Each structure stands twice: as C-alpha cells, then as structure tokens.
Amino acid sequence: MKFLITISLIVLGMAAHAQRSYVFGVVRDSLSGDDMIGVHVRNIDAGSLTSTNADGKFKIPAQIGDTLVLSSVGHSTLAWIADSTWFKGEEIEFLMPVNTIYLDEVIVGEFPEYERFKEDLIKMEVEDTSFQVFGVPKVVMDPYPQMEKSEYLNPAFVFFHPISAVHHSFSKKEKEKRKMQQIMKRQHITEKARLKFTREWVSENTQLTGEKLTSFIAYCNFSEDYLASETLFAIHERMMELLPRFLAEKEKS
C-alpha cells in the first residue's frame, strides 16, 4: 500500500512538472541597464533554481501563478508572479535596483550627548526595501501583538489554552509587558494625532493666526483618539463646521 502511494505521488509530481513550460528572461541593472551575470533565479513553487549566464539570460520551468525570486549581492531581492504574457515565447526583462539606502542631508554641528544620540538613533525609521513581491500588497505587522485582557480571559481561550490563560493572568512579566504596550500604544496615538492636527495646517485652512488661532484650536477640543482614528478629510469637515460658531462668539465677546 505504501509503495502504491509513493508511486502515485511521484506520478502526480511528474505530471505537475510536465504542465510547466519554460520562461525565458534577461536580468539587467535598473540604473545602468547592464546585463547582470550570476543572478540567482528560483521558482519557489516548483522548487527549481538557475542563474543568469554571461549575457544576463536564463530559462526556468514555470506556469501561471508561480513565483520567481531573483537575488544578487548588492541588489534588492525581488519576486515576480508569472502571468499569461510570460508564455508567448518572448524574452521577459527583469530590472533589479541597487540595494542602497539614501539618508537625508545632515548638518553636523555640536555632537549631542551619548544618551540623546542613542535615543535619536533608536527613533530613526528606515524603510526596509530588501524584499518586494510585485502584485502582492505589503504585509503590515501588528504594532501591538501583546494579548489583551479580554483575549486571554475569553472562555474559548481558557478552555483550549488553560495553561497560557493562567500564565497571562498571573505572570508579573506579562503584566509588565501589557503596561509597556499601553504606554507605547498611547505614544503612537499621540504622535499620529499631532502629525494630523498641526498648528500650521489649521492656520492654512482657516486663515487664523496668533491668539485667534490658539483659541480656535482649544475651541475645537478634539481628543487624541478622535484625531488618530478619523481621516484628515473628516477632521477638516468638522473643523470648518466649528469655525463660523467660533468667529461669531469671538465677535460677541
């Protein structure tokens, strides 16, 4: 019986491989346009691997829906999903960008203290461009992965994971993690709100300046949670609704 199952799996694998035809491609540097030699080309669905020749060309078995991953030292690792246009006998061009991070211009003055320098370095956010799958949206990680109280006390979670439920309920380490999570979440909301509802943006849209501008911002009394969760369009609409009332009250006083 095991022998028959093994033979069946081998036959199915050969049939699946037989359905694949060859993709012919050429890999070039996106900046210079030069042919790239020795680029690794891997079909992660078929489990096949090849590399480009002296002319930057390659061929690899594939079918519609397969994902080809191209990688080369000094260039961004990229992936493409095969579509029907790849199997018309024409050579497909793949452009690979140099994996370079350009930082903003920095004017060097008095060197900051160590603690401040470390804090600024930690806050620096550099976009990760090392891997990209074309045709597939980027995956955004949850910034708050720690379990909430409502989650680990959920009856279903307690029933299926009793040990984990007890651990999350009484572990001092988990409690500290949850406290830190709340602090980080609050900081994230505050920062998001400040970026949306700036003094410059309010002044540009209302034409208010000085003390009037300050008074109007206080008059709006938008909470950080409201600013962080609402769209900029909705905030603008609400702000412009309050503006005539504010000006009318200001004239009376």
Instruction: Give the least confident one: 7-21, 157-171, 218-232.
Output: 7-21
Counted domains in the chain: 3
Could you tell me what percent of the chain has a pLDDT over 90?
26
Q: Provide mean pLDDT across the span 234-252.
A: 89
Question: Are 84 and 156 contained in the same domain?
Answer: no
Q: Between these two residues, 236 and 138, which has the higher pLDDT value?
A: 236
Kindly tell me if the per-residue pLDDT of 222 is higher than 80: yes
Residue 193 pLDDT class (50, 70, 90 cuts): confident
pLDDT of residue 112: 61
pLDDT of residue 85: 87
Q: Between these two residues, 159 and 249, which has the higher pLDDT value?
A: 249
Report d(CA 26, CA 90) in Å as an integer: 11
Question: Are 42 and 106 contained in the same domain?
Answer: yes
Question: Are 114 and 164 contained in the same domain?
Answer: no
Assigned domain for 234 exists: yes
Question: Are 136 and 36 contained in the same domain?
Answer: yes
Assigned domain for 8 exists: no
Q: Provide mean pLDDT across the span 61-72.
A: 90
Q: Between these two residues, 237 and 136, which has the higher pLDDT value?
A: 237
Question: Are 171 and 135 contained in the same domain?
Answer: no
Give burial (CB, 10 Å; 0-12/13-18/19+) of 136.
Answer: exposed
Q: Between these two residues, 178 and 19, which has the higher pLDDT value?
A: 178
pLDDT of residue 116: 73
Report d(CA 162, CA 39) in Å as an integer: 50
Number of helices followed by number of strands (H, E) in the chain: 10, 8
Identify the CATH number of the domain in which residue 117 sits. Answer: 2.60.40.1120
Assigned domain for 176 exists: yes
Q: Which of 194, 184, 179, 189 is nearest to 144 (CA)?
A: 184
Question: Are 23 and 128 contained in the same domain?
Answer: yes
Report d(CA 193, CA 201) in Å as an integer: 12
Average pLDDT of the chain is: 78
Q: Are 167 and 174 in contact (CB under 8 A)?
A: yes
pLDDT of residue 3: 45
pLDDT of residue 20: 72
Q: Provide mean pLDDT across the span 201-214.
A: 91
Mean pLDDT is highest, among 96-100, 138-142, 247-251, for: 247-251
| Residues 2-18 pLDDT 10s | 444 444 444 444 444 44
Kindly tell me if the per-residue pLDDT of 27 is higher than 80: yes
pLDDT of residue 143: 46
Assigned domain for 100 exists: yes
Q: Provide mean pLDDT across the span 23-51.
A: 91
Domain hosting residue 126, numbered range: 16-140
pTM of the model: 0.37
